[in-house]
Structure 1
Amino acid sequence: MEHQTRLPRSTPEAAGIAPQAVLGFLDAIRDRKLELHSFMLLRRGQVAAEGWWAPYKPEYPHMLFSLSKSFTSTGIGFAAAEGLLTVNDPVVGFFPDEAPETVTGNLAAMQIRHLLMMGTGHAADVTGSLRKDENWVRAFLAEPVEHKPGTHFAYNSAATYMLSAILRKVTGQSLLAYLKPRLFAPLGLTEGTWETCPRGIEVGGWGLNVTTEDIAKFGQLYLQHGVWEGEQILPAAWIDEATSFQIDNDDGRANDWTQGYGYQFWRCRHGAYRGDGAFGQFCVVLPEQEAVLAITSGVADMQAVLDAAWAELLPALSADAAPAPDAAAQAALEERLAALRLDPPQAEASSPAEARLDGRVFRLEPNELRLDSLAVRFSEQGAELTIGNDELGEQTAKLGRGAWTASRLRVGDVKQGAEQRVEGSFAWRNDDTLDIRLMLVETPFTYALACRLDGDALELTFTANVGWDPDKVLTIRGQAAALA
């Protein structure tokens, strides 16, 4: 059976939404200073509007963080449909060799459904404990289960890992291999990659990398109750169950994180539901409006992104009458979408200090980034930043003068470490301070390095656009070793 690889394209008006609404959404994102990387709005199965903020591109995969959870849940849906498991199966029963000597009543009562709904009975997320053990399953089962499963919501990525481990047990395959013929191939998704634990099991709760259009297709499959190109590939009953209210998570705040939780899907206001991931990765499904909104971004305030969608897009999607044709608004939207970009540092293109910095290798004091050395070599066209690290060795990123230039770097865990696309740029803030940006365009992250030269000494200030400690500023000092 032939499967389309791209969703059909339309215009907002043809899809029943005024282009002014999309312009309003883009205005709200800009005015709130939210760093979106891409968005794709689907209406009635067609792409009504889409945009990528350069240098992000449609073909680039993006790190999904916890949006991965919704894909893991889908794997459980397929396995249940094939009779390999039920959501009522006890978790501990899959792992007799890794269970603790004494299985408490609450652990014995924990079922697959409790993993799915984040109602394992743990008082809080236990993912940190898993990382201290090579065997994450054993570590999970050893954790105290303080509450009766199903009675206490605690967002817990370790629960999603257990779903991945259970799928490995019952299918004999990795989660990604299991999903490929059932989900990825029918929908025409890109290859995808998924981070694994020390024993090679996909982590489930995070670690999946796919494109924005892949996210949009995934949401459209759910909107269509599991039907794709006329074929029921995932049971409609599973989708209804997975996206419905399964457990209360109301903590008194009136926002989109307190509307109830399904099977690795969040309930939203306005009758919508979503999968989402840290720093603004979204797959929002609006059944009443026949719409899907896929977003990748690098934002700290994820609620602000949803607020912009509710304020600007929802009224237009909910309108009873089709919008009146407006050629000027459509032309303005097309122009706006074509011009979306994230600007590199804009200051002085060069400095008298360039000659003093050029080619000098600076040995850096011990630091949590584990950077050992830094050197910058300039040319008329741009520069090259070379950084040294004990695990990864020396690596070089290209930098454009006030413009983005592409290269590749290995970042993070050397064991997981595939090279990532990086866009680099630089500008001189003043005569002594060089501003460098490294945008990891397959992730939410952009790193800013401010290099201040003081004789033979270098002061390096490191910040990131988003992170687990968002206000953190690292200052690292270095000393010139020799001319390279």
Structure 2
Amino acid sequence: MAGEGGLLPRSAPGDSGVSSRAVGALLDRLEELSVECHSIMVVRGGHVVAEGWWAPYDAERPHLLYSLTKSFTAIAVGIVIGDGLLSLDDRVVDLLPDHVPADISEQGRRLTVHHLLSMTTGHRDDSLTEAWELEPGDLVKGFLRVPFPYPEGTRHAYDNSTTFVLARIVERVTGIGLPEFVDERLFKPMGIDHAVWDRVASGAAFGFHGLHLKTEAVAAFGELLLRKGRWGNQQLVPREWVELATRRHIETLPPEDAAADWESNPDFLCGYGYQFWIGRHGYHGNGAFGQHCVVVPSHDLVVVVTSAVDQGTALPGAIWECLLPGIDQAASPQDDEMLADRLQQLSLKPVPGTAEPARSAKATLDASAEDSALPDGTLVVVDPVDGGWLVRCGTLFTVEVGHGEWRESSPLGRPVVADGGWQGNTFVAELYVITSPHRVRLVVDADAGTAMARWNMVPLTGPRLELHLQSPLMTRPDVA
């Protein structure tokens, strides 16, 4: 369905110099690549020219951004620097002295805000897991204890811990939490009032992950960057900081343990800024499983996509190949109307099957699959009700499942949207954790009395489904 948000004005694609056929070609390419899209928004010249959500996702749903969160944290750092409370040369050990390990190395003592922002601290790869293992109660201290095989400032390694440390620095120098600071200085002035932040067990926001925003809010963020930090008549972010954060500071190389297909998308090999990837055209914030905010200043263009795909997705490459050739090309009102109709009808495929309203089932869950969403032995009960089903997962939670429609419930705080059907003697349901890229396929074999619950892609914060239905999500910082 199309949105009617109020953050950005709307116009027909042709009125803003965008070919509707080019947008359609991009949609076609994503389908060809089997990209499970949840939303798309194209902004040209400050106007939304194309927007769509694949049901059951919709315009009013905040969506988990994963590491796209990092770009927001970097902008918060820039605001703090603009306030004179911080500088790029400030050392971590001076800013967070109570988190400095007794055996800190000399290199650890030299690390600065610049090294954190550019992810050039000298770690070989992501330090998050090792840092947590070294210091379960203090990730900053653990980060400073992880060995540095490379000199600081010489090599980029994508490292979640660096952004966690930046978030704690923002909080230390401002005296308030990162979510509260971003709300006050960025979101409220922009008219964004729905942000949700996942948190570690202590209650602190991850900073490197966990921000949930609606698609239009992400597009507005991209437009803010395109305008060099200006929103309306307010300079919310120092212009110099936007320019600095979105330019190349270090070259990027595939991780040493990366799969062979890492180089299939060269837009991750064009360099790294301050928590932004530099691309062949412009720059982008990126989150796991296909969360993208692409900014192309040369074409006055912002493109946002939320989705559920494996790493190594073809974005933003597909944008260059499909959409850019249609910029400043002739368009017709008929093309615009056809695109608008297509965008209105976007939908993920519902589960096929029959209703069988008199049939129920009980089964014991088999968690032998490594991506199981529920514990082994969970009793799963399927009972028909009101043209759908109630599915009880032991004592953990109960969800509503629709037939021929998506039905919503919030058993533990966050919504889950589900549909299902009987396929012979097997009940199948898709449980969408609708504020995230993730869903669980529940399969109940009524004859065998067994069930399986498997993720489309296991969330980076762990496989237990009940954890991801809680609001706010609070867990150890084990995002890999």
Please give the alpha-carbon distance, in whole angstroms, between the structure 1 residues aligned to 2:212 and 2:131: 22
Superposed, 1:33-72 pairs within 5 Å as 33-72=34-73
Identity of aligned residues (%): 34
Say whether 1:370 aligns with 2:363. Answer: no
Please give the alpha-carbon distance, in whole angstroms, between the structure 2 residues aligned to 1:28 and 1:124: 32
Q: Which residue of 1 aligns with 2:426?
A: 433
Say whether 1:261 aligns with 2:264. Answer: no
Say whether 1:285 aligns with 2:295. Answer: yes
Which stretch has the larger CA shift, 43-52 or 375-384?
A: 375-384
Please give the alpha-carbon distance, in whole angstroms, between the structure 2 residues aligned to 1:191 and 1:338: 24
SS at match of 1:420: coil
Maintained 8 Å contact 1:256/1:269: yes
Post-superposition Cα deviations, 1:417-443, rounded to whole Å, max 9, x if no partner, equal xx222111111222x211111011100
Structure 1 residues 363, 345: closer, same or farther in 2, change over 3 A?
closer
**193, 217, 221: which one aligns with 2:196:** 193
Post-superposition Cα deviations, 1:17-42, rounded to whole Å, max 9, x if no partner, equal 11111111111122222110001100
Q: Which residue of 1 aligns with 2:324?
A: 314
Residue 460 of structure 1 and its aligned partner are, at CA, apart by 1.7
Q: Which residue of 1 aligns with 2:454?
A: 463
Superposed, 1:83-482 pairs within 5 Å as 83-132=84-133, 133-251=136-254, 253=263, 255-270=266-281, 272-317=282-327, 319=328, 322-324=329-331, 326-350=332-356, 355=359, 357-358=360-361, 360=362, 362-364=363-365, 369-370=374-375, 372-379=378-385, 381-388=387-394, 393-410=395-412, 419-430=413-424, 432-454=425-447, 457-467=448-458
Which stretch has the larger CA shift, 377-386 or 131-140?
A: 131-140
SS at match of 1:161: helix
RCO higher in structure (CA 8 A, sep ≥6)? 2
Amino acid at match of 2:207: G
Please give the alpha-carbon distance, in whole angstroms, between the structure 2 residues aligned to 1:54 and 1:364: 29
Structure 1 residues 468, 193: closer, same or farther in 2, change over 3 A?
closer
Maintained 8 Å contact 1:385/1:398: yes
TM-score norm. by structure 2 comes to 0.88
Please give the alpha-carbon distance, in whole angstroms, between the structure 2 residues aligned to 1:266 and 1:458: 49
Please give the alpha-carbon distance, in whole angstroms, between the structure 1 residues aligned to 2:423 and 2:194: 41
Amino acid at match of 1:330: D
Please give the alpha-carbon distance, in whole angstroms, between the structure 2 residues aligned to 1:407 and 1:335: 29
Amino acid at match of 1:444: P
Maintained 8 Å contact 2:286/2:293: yes
> What is the aligned length?
443
SS at match of 1:283: strand
Post-superposition Cα deviations, 1:222-254, rounded to whole Å, max 9, x if no partner, equal 000011102211111101110000111134936
SS at match of 1:427: strand
Maintained 8 Å contact 1:190/1:211: no
Amino acid at match of 1:290: D
Please give the alpha-carbon distance, in whole angstroms, between the structure 1 residues aligned to 2:346 and 2:197: 29
Amino acid at match of 1:305: L
Residue 137 of structure 1 and its aligned partner are, at CA, apart by 1.7
- Flag structure 1 segments of 5+ consecutive residues without an equivalent: 411-418, 475-484
SS at match of 2:285: strand
Amino acid at match of 1:334: A
Please give the alpha-carbon distance, in whole angstroms, between the structure 2 residues aligned to 1:183 and 1:342: 33
Structure 1 residues 366, 468: closer, same or farther in 2, change over 3 A?
closer
Please give the alpha-carbon distance, in whole angstroms, between the structure 2 residues aligned to 1:116 and 1:395: 41
SS at match of 1:246: coil
CA RMSD in angstroms comes to 2.1
Amino acid at match of 1:445: H
- Flag structure 2 segments of 5+ consecutive residues without an equivalent: 255-261, 466-480
